[in-house]
Amino acid sequence: MAKILIFGGYAKSLTNFRGELIKDMVRLGHQVIGMAPETGFEGELNAIGAQYQRVPLQRTGLNPLKDLAALRLLVKEFRQMQPDILLSYTIKPVIYGSLAARAAGVPRVYSMITGLGYAFAGRSLKQKLLLSLVRILYSQSLRKNARVFFQNPDDIAVFRKFHLLPNGDSAVLINGSGVDIRKFSFVKAKTNPVIFLLMARLIREKGIAEYVEAARLLKPRFPEARFQILGPPDSNPSAIRQEEIAAWQSEGIVEYLGQTNDVRPYISECSVFVLPSFYPEGTPRSILEAMSMGRPVITTDAPGCRETVRRNMNGFLVPVKDSLALADAMERFIVNPSLVTEMGIRSRVTAEEKYDVRKVNRSILEAMDLLEVGRSCVQQN
């Protein structure tokens, strides 16, 4: 039995994005401890057979003194816990977790790159300076990693370009975080009227302004079509303000549905899922959930997004920040609603074949040499 630490930047993501992986590890006989900065998450991890340990790390921001103090505490925690394996995901846990694990003598260290993030997203002076620092930190922290998991080939190419991977190139490509195809079951889409749904955090990088502009172009000609937005507000500097959303609603352009802990009823009610993101995604989980429920997808020809759509088969790819192209793609579903059903079925098939979380988890466990070892432990017990 291996003692495995899974370290993420946000406690809720341990169950939302790694829950099925943790369950599989537990079923195979391993001891799993989830780690994140928040308090009060023991119950959620205990419910799936794991433990929870809070770790002192600021999820966002760059404060060298605080981050250095957190690194020292992580080294101390790892030495006390004596894990066999560390798996980290999101930028700060990957960097500081890997550095601390090496200092503490953790035998096997793995990282998962779930998107490139803010430093890689633009060309401002701040981002260029941050990128230089991030490159140094990645190259140092990943140097001794056994494997580095990536959710799309574009991110692998970037890491190779900047020589950020360990010697021997330990990159492993996986199909995102996967989706539970049984939980997100197929539901036939309604097409009268055609309802579009954008589901994301309310930040500009998700293409929300472009979506609203596309709706503004289409609404006068197709007043029956509906354009919905679902997602929580955000503290990011590029967050969409509540006043903007209220103005859009007053204009009669979009419907803001608020936020929810269960997206399935909203996906069930929509016809087409839209995510015109230009944020450096890993593989957007929201797209996979919509595909699993049988919804065609309109998304951007951008890293992480483009892998989910087989062009003109289960949806359409549009250029980033192009509201005209987005409106054209949306119009195709309005004037030809039979595409909703045809492409939605293909989305479901793709989810089953490529993105089933059980298949994704198996590839992760195999790459970590846990699958057969875990089975042996279960048989011995």
Instruction: Report the pLDDT value the prediction gives residue 378, as an integer from 0 to 100.
Output: 39
Peptide linkage before 37 cis (omega within 30 of 0): no
Instruction: Report the pLDDT value the prediction gives residue 294, as an integer from 0 to 100.
Output: 98
Tens digits of residue pLDDT in 244-257: 999 999 999 999 99
Instruction: Please list the pLDDT of the chain residue by residue as tens digits (381 residues).
Output: 899 999 999 999 999 999 999 999 999 999 999 999 999 899 999 999 999 999 988 766 677 888 899 999 999 999 999 999 999 999 999 999 999 999 999 999 999 999 887 677 666 777 678 888 889 999 999 999 999 999 999 999 999 999 999 877 799 999 999 999 999 999 999 999 999 999 999 999 999 999 999 999 999 999 999 999 999 988 777 889 999 999 999 999 999 999 999 999 999 999 999 999 988 789 999 999 999 999 999 999 999 999 999 988 999 999 999 999 999 999 999 999 999 999 999 999 999 999 999 999 999 999 999 986 544 443 443
Instruction: Report the pLDDT value the prediction gives residue 306, as an integer from 0 to 100.
Output: 94
Instruction: Report the pLDDT value the prediction gives residue 169, as an integer from 0 to 100.
Output: 74
Instruction: Report the pLDDT value the prediction gives residue 75, as an integer from 0 to 100.
Output: 97
Instruction: Report the pLDDT value the prediction gives residue 379, as an integer from 0 to 100.
Output: 42
Instruction: Report the pLDDT value the prediction gives residue 64, as an integer from 0 to 100.
Output: 80
- List the domains of the chain with CATH numbers: 3-178+357-380 (3.40.50.2000), 195-355 (3.40.50.2000)
Q: Is the pTM of this model over 0.75?
A: yes
Instruction: Report the pLDDT value the prediction gives residue 265, as an integer from 0 to 100.
Output: 98
Instruction: Report the pLDDT value the prediction gives residue 61, as an integer from 0 to 100.
Output: 65
Tens digits of residue pLDDT in 170-201: 999 999 999 999 999 999 999 999 999 999 99
Instruction: Report the pLDDT value the prediction gives residue 156, as an integer from 0 to 100.
Output: 95
Half-sphere exposure in the Cβ direction for 252 (13 Å, CA) = 7
Instruction: Report the pLDDT value the prediction gives residue 236, as an integer from 0 to 100.
Output: 74
